[in-house]
Amino acid sequence: MATLRQQALGMVQARPRVTVTPPSPKISEYFGTNVFGNGRMKEALAPSVFKKVMEAIDKGTKIDPSTAEEVATAVKTWALSKGVTHFTHWFQPLTGSTAEKHDSFFDMYAGIEKFKASALVQQEPDASSFPNGGIRSTFEARGYTAWDPSSPIFIFEKTLCIPTIFVSYTGEALDYKTPLLKSMEAINDAAVEVCQLFDRNVRKVSPSLGIEQEYFVVDKALFAARPDLVMAGRSVFGHSPARGQQLEDHYFGSIPTRVKDFMVDFEIEAHKLGIPLSTRHNEVAPGQFEVAPIYEEINKAVDHNQLLMDLMDKVAEKHSLKVLFHEKPFAGVNGSGKHNNWSLITDTGVNLFQPSNSARENLQFLTFLVATVKAVYDHSDLLRASIASASNDFRLGANEAPPAIMSVFLGGTLSDVLDELEKNGNIKIEKGDNMYMKLGISKIPEIILDNTDRNRTSPFAFTGNKFEFRAVGSSANCGLPMTTLNVIVAEVLKGMIKDIEKEMNAGKEKKIAIVNVLRKYIKDSKKVRFEGDGYSAEWAKEAEKRGLSNLKSTPEALDIYEKKATKELYERHNVLNHIEVHARHEIMLEDYIKKVQIESRVMGDLALNHIIPTAILYQNKLIENANGLKGLSLDNSAAVETIKEVSKHLESLKSNVTAMVETRKKLNKEDDIVKRAKAYQKEVKEAYFDKIRYAVDKLELLVDDESWPLVKYRELLFIR
Ligand code: ADP
Ligand code: MG
């Protein structure tokens, strides 16, 4: 009988092409058709009601019940007209995916379709099965979801989806969205205050985000024949193919037809959902691709990214493909990240990270730039923790991904500007002087955007008019890193205002006061700036000398959440209270342990039930062969050598798997979750994963190809 692998390979060859045609040649004609956006709302609601909703969105205030009733009715009418029968609150629990619980509009007793304001505004999903880090004991399963009117309602899979926050009955956040929304207020508060030093007209500052999403695509049948991909999202075994990414031809090559059909399909659906996808291309590794939207206000960008991942999963099904969002699905080829392009934009239309021709605006630009650099320096460990996960650990610090060291890349031009500003610290500025000229900041070329050196090795890079946080993992919910970034920058901006005021109280003119503070901050945060090759071994050494952290594993990186200063920081900005911070720490540790456990089990199962039996059968064949040759008095040394090698790896495989299982049993008795996570990292993952993999990958090279049970890398990566 053919192995699962052989059957799967057969299926791949027989795949028919699946093409789709967009509803119209122009995207503008179907963009947002599945969204109850502002335009649609304006048409459907009375002007006074619409105004109230807009105000509530703008100010983040509550929508009163009668307004909610009107919105509910309008939404229902629209949804029914589109053939929708169910609605759901759509939220982002700390599991990392999105959650839904569908209810029907149909009211049997009334015999009609109903949708009340109460159902729009609030729901009580059975929250007991979502992680809560001990906030609620499981028997008290009450949590509720509450409508977030700032993110538009949409139709997905014939269901009306209402974006909501998810909180416990006692009010603690159980999701990613709640703190993100609060962090937007925190940074708005701080940034508006700083902007007012330059321009009294600024009333609001909002963070913008554009997320570049990397992913791998494999055939569905091949995926299904790899239990490790199914269970862990990652291949735990697999020898590198003869041809990896060393030819670097994939990046520039044309997109394979099957994948292109898939892209076109999910882009159409994304556009209908108002997700502004704009670019698609191959990535560095074979089988790896990227999609990116045009940036949006941060909360919407995060929602859209979560929705996009769901959507891609669903659409891939139609093309008999499987999308891998795991950070490192294949050893030896590039991993996947999610570059978070972040900036701050005022209600007067100014991007605060956009250098300009006007000297005054440039001082403002530098103020925000320096504040961000200082934030990364002061809180690098928090930023590191925000992207920590079992899956991202395989990517961070691996040779082709940003290292676990947080550093900032600014590019030559800006580095010079900051250096000069720092150096000119002692220049005396007299009344009537052109301060900007004297300090060398009168002109920062506007063309920086095209000028920024493309340093791809930095985890946090300035790219012309925005910062790009690249260390975020491809499977992550960006809510957490973006909440963190907003909070730490808000923190520095708040401190900055105080420092500037101090200078002014000491009699300094405002501009001078600002410059003095900037100089100090530039000096203080200098160590975090790095322009060289972030992937090099020298940088790790240099970073250590500079005293920068290099927290390579998740459990270690998460320790920062137990620090008093962390809890106070989040509390001070009204983003998370200390219970919520503690709960998140627990949830992330729990998640880490589970992931390592699953991988460890998958490794054990595959080794014991697939690899070892296959290798033994092959070994028997060899023994038969060796004996046969001997009987004929012929040289059997080749067979004997191979038998020895197979035996050696079998031996090592068996003993390491047994020892790993024993270790797991022992560790599961450890009650302290921090200790358990750290032990799983050291005593399970670090102690056994590589050894076990080494033995299996060697056996893959020895055992005859026909009987090898696992789909090989060359098949996963190159067949489509
Ligand atoms: P790359 O990094 O590949 O050169 P782009 O410059 O095209 O990419 O931008 C990547 C992402 O950054 C896109 O999603 C884009 O919309 C987004 N982006 C561009 N300008 C800003 C900005 N001011 N704020 C936030 N994101 C932005
Ligand atoms: Mg980029």
Residues 621-652 have pLDDT tens digits of 999 999 999 999 999 999 999 999 999 999 99
The answer to whether 577 touches 167, Cβ cutoff 8 Å, is no
Please state, for a pLDDT cut of 90, what percent of the chain lies above it. Answer: 75
Indicate the top mutation candidate among 289, 341, 448 to test ligand 1's pocket, ranked by most ligand atoms within 8 A of CB. 341
Which ligand is the nearest neighbour of the Cα of 342?
1
What CATH class is the domain 31-175?
alpha beta
| Å from CA of 475 to ligand 1 middle | 19
| Å from CA of 517 to ligand 2 middle | 31
pLDDT digits (tens, 9 = 90+) for 301-336: 999 999 999 999 999 999 999 999 999 999 988 899
Strand partners, 322: 218
Give the span between the Cα atoms of 321 and 323, in whole angstroms: 7
Task: Read off φ and ψ for residue 675, nearest 5 degrees.
Answer: -65, -40
Instruction: Compute the average pLDDT of residues 10-39.
Output: 94
The answer to whether 555 touches 672, Cβ cutoff 8 Å, is no
Instruction: Compute the average pLDDT of residues 592-600.
Output: 97
Task: Read off φ and ψ for residue 338, nearest 5 degrees.
Answer: -140, 95
Quick check: helix, strand or coil at residue 143? strand
| Å from CA of 468 to ligand 2 middle | 7
What is the value of pTM for the model shown?
Answer: 0.94
The answer to whether 477 touches 303, Cβ cutoff 8 Å, is no
Q: Of 278-292, 363-377, 446-460, 671-685, which range is least confident?
A: 446-460
| Å from CA of 614 to ligand 1 middle | 49
Mean pLDDT of the chain: 91
From residue 550, give the alpha-carbon distance in Å to each of 543, 593, 676. 8, 21, 21
Nearest to 440 by CA among 366, 498, 527: 366
- Residue 552: burial class (beta carbons within 10 Å; 0-12, 13-18, 19+): middle
Protein residue with least CA distance to atom 13, ligand 1: 210
Nearest to 325 by CA among 476, 202, 191: 476
Indicate the top mutation candidate among 295, 298, 369 to test ligand 1's pocket, ranked by most ligand atoms within 8 A of CB. 295
pLDDT digits (tens, 9 = 90+) for 159-196: 999 999 999 888 889 999 999 999 999 999 999 999 99
pLDDT digits (tens, 9 = 90+) for 89-105: 999 998 777 888 788 88
Q: Is 6 left (phi over 0), alpha (psi -120 to 50) or beta?
A: alpha
The answer to whether 322 touches 217, Cβ cutoff 8 Å, is yes
pLDDT in the model for residue 139: 41
Which ligand is the nearest neighbour of the Cα of 469?
2
Give the span between the Cα atoms of 455 and 310, in whole angstroms: 31
Domain ranges of the chain: 31-175, 184-237+244-576, 589-718
Q: Which structure tokens are listed for 314? A: 């669903």
Instruction: Compute the average pLDDT of residues 135-139.
Output: 51
Give DSSP secondary structure letters for 10-30. HHHHTPPP-----SSS-GGGT
Q: Which structure tokens are listed for 27? A: 């995207």
| CATH number belonging to the domain at 589-718, selected among 1.10.1040.10, 1.20.120.1560, 3.40.50.880, 3.50.50.60 | 1.20.120.1560
Task: Read off φ and ψ for residue 252, nearest 5 degrees.
Answer: -95, -10
The answer to whether 208 touches 187, Cβ cutoff 8 Å, is no
Residue type, 541: K
Quick check: helix, strand or coil at residue 318? helix
Protein residue with least CA distance to atom 8, ligand 1: 212
Give the span between the Cα atoms of 577 and 167, in whole angstroms: 13
HEC string of 157-188 equals CCEEEEEEEEEECCCCECECHHHHHHHHHHHH
Judging by DSSP bridges, how do beta strands 106-107 and 35-36 pair with one another?
unpaired
Q: Of 56-60, 428-432, 575-579, 643-647, which range is least confident?
A: 428-432
CA dihedral 50→56→57→60, nearest 10 degrees, is: 180
pLDDT band (50, 70, 90) for residue 428:
low
The count of other CB atoms within 10 Å of the CB of residue 608 is 15
Protein residue with least CA distance to atom 11, ligand 1: 210
The answer to whether 399 touches 602, Cβ cutoff 8 Å, is no
CATH topology of domain 184-237+244-576: Creatine Kinase; Chain A, domain 2 (3.30.590)
Check if 184-237+244-576 and 589-718 are the same fold.
no
| Å from CA of 437 to ligand 1 middle | 31
